[in-house]
Each structure stands twice: as structure tokens, then as C-alpha cells.
Amino acid sequence: MRDVYLIGVGQTKMTKNAGVRGRYMAAEAMQKAVEHAGIDWKQIGMLVTGNMTAGRLSHQQQLGALHADVVGLRGVEAATVEAACGSGAAAARWGFMAVGGGFHDVALICGSERMTQAPLDDTTAALATAADWELEGINGESFVSLNARLMKQYMQTYGVTSQDFGHFAITAHDNGFTNPNGFLHKKIDMETYLHSRMLVDPVKLLDAPPICDGAASIVLATEEVARAAHRQGLPLIRIAGSAIGTDSLALDSRRDMLVLDGAVLSTRRAMEQAGIKNDDIDIFELHDAYTVITSLSLEAAGFAEKGKGVHFGKDGEISRTGRLPISTFGGLKSRGHPVGATGVYQLVETYLQLTGTAGENQVPDPEFALVQNIGGTGATVVSHVLQRCA
């Protein structure tokens, strides 16, 4: 395997009902990433797009070829990756393997999702296809109801209350307030959290992410290309680890409903590749789709004991100046969660952190970051370790 570097990033602002067709939203993000990377379009050997719902909500498949055509890369190797809400990071892993494996020197990755043009019931049904249809979807389960099951089970098993999850939402909104590309620019307090509208008991509105549209893009390249395109004053960012772990789609088929085994596996694999341990991680950009998933992710990644993840961060540990910052640009909860694009937004934001270009959202002097993107309720978990290099 060759070393793989992240050399360019681009993103669009999160929107709702903006009327911009998905292909042009994706094109904007890709053009920004290639321009930021400082490379020629002719150097790109591969384009991979992560997307979940376009076939159902926009009646459009083959986004890889479509996006290649729109940005002037017709003829390049291109494909679409679908892994539910983990599609964006899965696309990044494809690009990582292509560059690392010697198939291409440069890969362009795009995560793109347009969800708000469709009626809410259609969007909800589209998202539910990431669950096990025969065991869950056919019985009317949605992602809100499935996460409500997880949250209720967690509360009953560990004797905690709804209030114990509130600091995750508060932290995300604090960080998202200064994210210029985020969707929700609103700080909240515990009272606001506790009195937010109930969706499916015990999940409240402020336990869940907003539905929105967005696209993000990154450029991956070999060390030779990275050093040739390197801008003075900025460090190089290496993908030090990349892995996927899987589990059953259905919650009732899990070994333990309250353990994200896919996250356990992908975290361990990615960190072993990088040759680091939990104490080396300066940022954990986790998939905070629901507050209960934040708790379970902290436990699965080894930052908290089982049943203790819900309490992690109550003393400021997860703030941008804490010992393990999370959701540094607002996470899914405040930045927004355009499902197939989310994993690429996470990588874009982490690049900004590691290069010291995160502006008001900057974390002090980070070197290693763990970036984790989850498909469904934990069936596909993609983990990347990013390292700041000289």
C-alpha cells in the first residue's frame, strides 16, 4: 500500500428547498475541492460518489457517471457507492484503496444528497430502506422509531434519564453556531432541549438531526502528488487508517443491541493501521445522528465504558477545548445530515481542523483525528484516522 493524502476539500452550504438540482450542487463541491487541491483536472483518474436516496427521491441513478460528465471528466472511471448514511465515507474508502493500491494517483470523492424536494413521508420512507425491510421496515419502523428503541433500552438498562443525553445536543449546537456552512445556527440550553417536541418517545426533536440538502468533496492523492501541490505554511494530511466494520441491519439480530459491533471493529482496524491508541486521538468526529448514537459511539470506540458513554462530556471533555472534542462544526445535529454526503463533510471539517484553518471552530493543535460515519443504526461503520504531517 502507498501512503494516501487528503489534499483538497470543498463543500456547499446546507440548504432546504433551495431548488438547486443535485448534479449542480455536487459539481460546486467538486470544483471547490479540485481548485483547493491545486491540481489539474487531467490528473484525476477516478471519481467516486456517495449517495443514498437519489434513485428513489430524484429518480436518478448512475450518479458517478453523471457527476463525471457534469464536471468535464467524461470517460474517467466513476461509480456510486451506497451504504445508507455511511455512503460518503464508504466512497472515500474506495478512493483510498484505489490510490493506496496503485490503481490511480488521484481520486476525487463526492458525497451528495438532495432530500427536501420530496414530501416528508417519501423522504422518511426512503431513509427507512436502510433498515432491514423484512424484519423492521415492513412493520412500519422508521429511523426515528428505531433510535427511540435504542434510547429507551439504554435508559432502562443503565438507569439514566432523557436529561442525561442533553449535553450532546447542547455541545453540537454551540459548535454549529459558528459554522458558516451549517444548517442550524441556534444555541440551546438544557431547558430548551428537555421541552423540545417529542417525535417518538423518548426521542425528542433536539435528539435528532435536521433533514437538509448538501454536497461535499475531497481529493485524495499519492505523496508525490501531495508534495507537488503542497501550499507553503500548511501541513500535509495523511489518511493513516481506513476501515469498515459491519453488523446486522436489524436491531433484534444484534449480539447486543446496546453495542455497535461495527464501530468496535472499524475503530480497531483503522487505529491498528495508524499505529495509535485512544490516548493519541485529539478529535473524534463521530456520527451524532441521534444522541443515543453519540453515547454508543463513544463506548464502541473505546473512549467510555459500556453504559458510561451518556455521561462522557458532562464536565466539558467534548467541547472544542476539551480532551476529546466531538461535533466540532456542529455535527449531524446542527450542521445537518444530508445522509450520503455526511461522511465527506466530516472529512472536510477534520481536514480544516488538522491544517489549522477551521476559523472560529478551531481545536487547539490537533495531530490525530478519528472520523466515523455510520450507515443505518450501525450496520455499516466506516472509520478513518487522519494525521497531520510535516
Per-residue pLDDT for the chain (390 aa), expressed as one digit of tens each?
Answer: 999 999 999 999 999 988 889 999 999 999 999 999 999 999 999 999 999 999 999 999 999 999 999 999 999 999 999 999 999 999 999 999 999 999 999 999 999 999 999 999 999 999 999 999 999 999 999 999 999 999 999 999 999 999 999 999 999 999 999 999 999 999 999 999 999 999 999 999 999 999 999 999 999 999 999 999 988 889 999 999 999 999 999 999 999 999 999 999 999 999 999 999 999 999 999 999 999 999 999 999 999 999 999 999 999 999 999 999 999 999 999 999 999 999 999 999 999 999 999 999 999 999 999 999 999 999 999 999 999 997
Please state whether the predicted TM-score (pTM) of the whole model is above 0.95.
Answer: yes
What domains can you pick out in the chain, each with its CATH number? 4-119+215-228 (3.40.47.10)
Whether 220 and 351 have beta carbons less than 8 Å apart is answered as no
Q: Which residues are identified as catalytic?
A: 85, 337
> What is the structure's pLDDT at 359?
97
Our CA dihedral for 169, 172, 177, 178, rounded to 10 degrees, sits at 170
Burial 173-192 (b: 16+ CB within 10 A, else e): bbbbbebebbbbeeebeeee
